[in-house]
C-alpha cells in the first residue's frame, strides 16, 4: 500500500527509516521505500519468463478485453462487484480507488452480486471499466510528462467518489457515502448507484442499530 519507487540522481543515499533498497544505474538511482509501520512491500528476483509468470495472479487486462472475456471473469465466482473488480485473480490492476470510480461511472452498487447482473449492466460495467482505466492512465501520464511519477497516491483530485465521503457527487450533487470494512473503505453515491438506498456500514450500524438511516432522504 505504501511502497514507492523514486528516481534520484546517481549514487543517491538510501533514506534511513523508509529505505528498503537502492538500485544504482549509470543515469540514476532507483530507491525503493515504504512508509508506515506495516511493512508489506516486497521485491522479487526471478529468472526467466516462466518464473515471472508464476507471480502473475492471472487477472484479465480489461482495457484490451472483449465483452465475452470480461463477462467470463466477472461471473466465474459469485461475489460483490467491489470484491470481484479488486480481485487480481479475476481482473488485473484495479485497486480500491479505481473500483469505486468504475462502479460510480457504471451506476452500479458495490454490493451487487456479479451473478445477478443483467446483460445491460455487464455491458455498462465493461464500458465504464475500460473508460475509467484509460482516462486515468492518460491523466497520470500527462501529469508525469517525461519525468518519473512522484506523487503516488490513491486519492486524486478529479475523482468522483473515492476518498470524497460527504462531498457532493459530481453527477447529481448528493453527498458521497462510504462503507468501512477491515482496513478499507468503499465510496459510492446512493442516488446514482443504489436507487437512494444506503448500504449498511457494519461497524456504524451495529453501533447505531435502529438509528441508522436507510434512505438518502433520511
Pattern 157-196, Zn ion, x by CB under 5 A: ------------x-xx----------------x-xx----
- Residues in binding contact with Zn ion, number by CB under 5 A: 6
CB 171 to Zn ion: min, Å: 4
Q: Which residues in 46-105 contact Zn ion (CB under 5 A)?
A: none
What residues does 4 pair with on adjacent strands? 33
Q: Are 162 and 155 in contact (CB under 8 A)?
A: yes
Tell me which H or E stretch contains 190.
helix 190-193
Q: Which is nearer to Zn ion, 123 or 171 (CB)?
A: 171
Q: Are 101 and 160 in contact (CB under 8 A)?
A: yes
Q: Which is nearer to Zn ion, 15 or 175 (CB)?
A: 175
CB count in 10 Å sphere of residue 24: 11
Q: Which is nearer to Zn ion, 19 or 175 (CB)?
A: 175
End-to-end CA distance of the chain: 35
CB 137 to Zn ion: min, Å: 24
Query: In this structure, what C-alpha cell is assigned to residue 36?
Result: 508506515
Residue with the shortest CB distance to Zn ion: 169
Best CA proximity match to 117, nearest among 151, 180, 70: 70
Q: Which is nearer to Zn ion, 70 or 98 (CB)?
A: 98
Residues lying near Zn ion in the complex (CB under 5 A)? 169, 171-172, 189, 191-192
Amino acid at each position: 500500500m505504501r511502497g514507492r519507487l523514486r528516481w534520484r540522481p546517481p549514487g543517491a543515499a538510501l533514506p534511513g527509516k523508509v529505505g528498503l533498497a537502492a538500485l544504482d544505474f549509470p543515469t540514476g538511482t532507483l530507491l525503493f521505500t515504504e512508509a508506515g509501520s506495516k511493512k508489506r512491500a516486497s521485491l522479487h528476483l526471478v529468472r526467466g519468463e516462466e518464473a515471472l509468470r508464476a507471480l502473475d495472479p492471472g487477472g484479465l487486462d480489461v482495457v484490451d478485453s472483449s465483452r465475452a472475456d470480461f463477462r467470463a471473469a466477472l461471473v466465474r465466482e459469485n461475489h460483490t462487484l467491489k470484491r470481484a473488480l479488486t480481485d487480481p485473480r479475476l481482473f488485473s490492476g484495479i485497486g480500491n480507488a479505481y473500483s469505486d470510480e468504475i462502479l460510480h461511472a457504471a451506476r452500479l452498487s458495490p454490493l451487487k452480486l456479479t451473478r445477478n447482473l443483467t446483460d445491460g449492466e455487464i455491458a455498462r460495467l465493461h464500458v465504464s471499466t475500460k473508460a475509467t482505466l484509460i482516462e486515468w492512465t492518460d491523466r497520470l501520464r500527462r501529469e508525469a510528462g517525461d519525468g518519473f511519477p512522484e506523487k503516488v497516491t490513491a486519492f486524486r483530485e478529479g475523482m468522483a467518489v473515492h476518498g470524497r465521503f460527504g462531498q457532493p457527487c459530481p453527477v447529481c450533487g448528493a453527498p458521497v457515502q462510504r462503507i468501512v470494512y477491515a482496513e478499507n473503505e468503499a465510496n459510492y453515491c446512493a442516488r446514482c448507484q443504489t436507487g437512494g438506498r444506503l448500504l449498511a456500514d457494519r461497524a456504524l450500524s451495529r453501533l447505531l442499530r435502529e438509528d441508522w438511516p436507510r434512505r438518502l432522504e433520511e
